Amino acid sequence: MATTTGVYHTSYRADLALRHTRLEYVRLALALAVVAALPFYASPFWLHVLDQIGIAVIGAIGLNILVGYTGQISLGQGGFLAVGAYSAGVVATKSDLSPLVGVLVAVLVTAVVGAFFGLPALRLKGLYLAIATLASQQIIVWLIVHWDFLTGGVDAIVLEPATVFGWTPTGDFDWYWVIVGFAALATITATNLFRTGVGRAFVAIRDHDIAAEVIGLDPARYKVLAFAVSSAFVGLAGALTAYWTQILTWERFTLDVSILYLAMIIVGGLGSVAGSIYGAAFMIAIPAYLDQLSLRVSAESILATDLPAIKLLIFGLTIVLFLVFEPRGLARIWQRAKDYLRLWPFRY
């Protein structure tokens, strides 16, 4: 209940609600309206970028569940995306099952693989876990490149266009709705996850896992579960990548991709689903914008001749500057903006 002196809740249900004030509902409606209207106004290039962002949102939410909410560092995102994508790819090319089955298989397989690679988390923390996941990333990619019979090795797997219930999404416009649908599903699932006991257990493990164990949470169970749940989201993102791009090569899933996703959730805000969305959009839109820019400047300018280096530089600088000046990311910046407006003319 919003009053002039603040927001008060008079029931547990109200306390757990996702939105508390009318203003928040209005903002949500506006955001949804923008998301619905975007594909009609975007140029083909930006529509393609939006589709990429949509898939990245799902992956970023997954990673944030693991890293932001449960505090387990993972450098293996690229590898898990690969598992999801190649599972879907194998289902698509080696059987006639519906793409929905492919997606389901991808989600389940990736969750299992994620749980397996999460086992080191039971013994390792922080830095050691990060390095273990780095190793898992390299090993998974190597397996994909060398496991010819299953994956096509260094050659690409090419998928036929996906058809569900007689409808084949063709082109980025159709895919936008599919991707946004899944992204919305992922967002709602993740948000609700943290209203449940399981979600709270994850957060407890992040904050102080020894204390969590003392009060009766089984850290082993919840850590592995965190890896599994996170990987399920990532598997979904991987499967969508497979069906959308229709061409699967191992280069899509290298360490650079893992780093990109980590950058997304750090820039966006650890431990925040909205942050994952902002971070994904930010880290994909900026290089895309630079690409566009480079095509319009003269060929002599440094942007055109050194484009990859400039993109790399800006990528690195973004990470460093955010971490030095606003470690809690875009979500925090947005929160501060909202607070400023809400509390004005007071400072806090």
Rounded least distance, CB 307 to another protein, Å: 6
161 binding another protein? (CB under 8 A): no
164 Cβ contact partners less than 8 Å away, ≥ 6 residues apart: 98, 99, 100
Rounded least distance, CB 218 to another protein, Å: 18
131 binding another protein? (CB under 8 A): yes
185 binding another protein? (CB under 8 A): no
Contact letters (x/-) for another protein, 234-273, by CB under 8 A?
Answer: -----------x-x-x-xx--x-x-x--xx--x---x---
CA distance 323 to 317: 10
Among 108, 203, 220, 288, contact with another protein (rule: CB under 8 A): 288
Rounded least distance, CB 119 to another protein, Å: 8
Give the DSSP H/E element, type plus range, for residue 83. helix 77-94
- Asked if residues 232 and 107 have their Cβ atoms less than 8 Å apart, the reply is yes
Among 12, 165, 325, 348, contact with another protein (rule: CB under 8 A): 325
Among 25, 45, 147, 340, contact with another protein (rule: CB under 8 A): 45
**Looking at beta carbons only, is 184 or 203 nearer to another protein?**
203
Q: Which of residues 203-222 bind another protein (CB under 8 A)?
A: 210-211
Rounded least distance, CB 53 to another protein, Å: 12
Q: Which of residues 58-97 bind another protein (CB under 8 A)?
A: 67, 71, 73
- Asked if residues 269 and 279 have their Cβ atoms less than 8 Å apart, the reply is yes
- Asked if residues 54 and 284 have their Cβ atoms less than 8 Å apart, the reply is no
42 binding another protein? (CB under 8 A): no
**Looking at beta carbons only, is 14 or 122 nearer to another protein?**
122
Rounded least distance, CB 195 to another protein, Å: 24
Cβ neighbour number for residue 87 with a 10 Å cutoff: 25
**N- to C-terminal Cα distance for the chain?**
21
CA distance 122 to 141: 23
**Looking at beta carbons only, is 225 or 307 nearer to another protein?**
307
Helix (H, G, I), strand (E, B) or coil at 167: strand
Cβ neighbour number for residue 21 with a 10 Å cutoff: 12
221 Cβ contact partners less than 8 Å away, ≥ 6 residues apart: none
179 binding another protein? (CB under 8 A): no
> What are the structure tokens assigned to 271, written together?
């431990």
8 binding another protein? (CB under 8 A): no
Among 190, 307, 330, 331, contact with another protein (rule: CB under 8 A): 307
Helix (H, G, I), strand (E, B) or coil at 254: coil
